[in-house]
Amino acid sequence: METENMHYGADAFSFQLAESLRKTETFPETILWNTLKNKQFLGLKFRRQHAINRFVVDFYCHKYKLVIEVDGSVHDNEDVKIRDKERECELESYGLKIIRFSNKDITHNLQTVLIKIEQFVNENKITEEF
């Protein structure tokens, strides 16, 4: 697996921001991270608060080029929705796929969230080369 490309040209500021965000994660992020970390979920390596170019994404699985975003109520604001869409378009231009969940999805329906992530993985299955 190519790891040198997983940051898509992120600069020092993005890495510092990612480190800071890891120290101040939200409760829903902690819940999801406790399931994704250490290859516990489907044996996949996920990273949290991962720098990608000028952005920091909540969770990232490089194998599937999958970004998982956890959105609080601020993402209901129209201005934020517009910025989120622009951000998604830029991330998608790198070949990344984005799945969004609300804080409520994670705190109240974690199993459904995990099923949706697993469905994505199954629909985008990568065959291992030996």
pLDDT band for position 3 (cuts 50, 70, 90): very low
Q: Which residue has the higher pLDDT, 60 or 129?
A: 60
Q: Is residue 73 part of a domain?
A: yes
Asked, for residue 128, whether it belongs to a domain, the answer is no
5 occurs within a structural domain: no
Q: Which domain holds residue 96?
A: 26-123
130 belongs to a structural domain: no
Query: Looking at the domain assignment, is residue 36 inside a domain?
Result: yes
Q: What is the pLDDT of residues 10-45, one digit of tens each?
A: 988 889 989 889 898 999 999 999 999 999 999 999
Does residue 64 fall inside a structural domain?
A: yes
Report yes or no on 20 lying in a domain: no
Distance in angstroms between the alpha carbons of the first and the last residue of the chain: 12
Please state the rounded mean pLDDT for residues 110-116: 97
CATH number for position 47: 3.40.960.10
Q: Which of 15-29, 39-53, 102-116 has the lowest mean pLDDT?
A: 15-29
Q: Is 12 exposed, middle or buried (0-12, 13-18, 19+ CB in 10 A)?
A: exposed
Q: Which two three-digit tokens encode residue 45?
A: 């390596």
Backbone torsion region of residue 7, taken as left when φ is above 0, otherwise alpha when ψ lies between -120 and 50, otherwise beta: alpha
Tokens standing for residue 24: 């101040």
Angle formed at CA 123 by CA 121 and CA 128, multiple of 5 degrees: 65
Number of structural domains (the chain) is 1
What does pTM read for this prediction?
Answer: 0.87
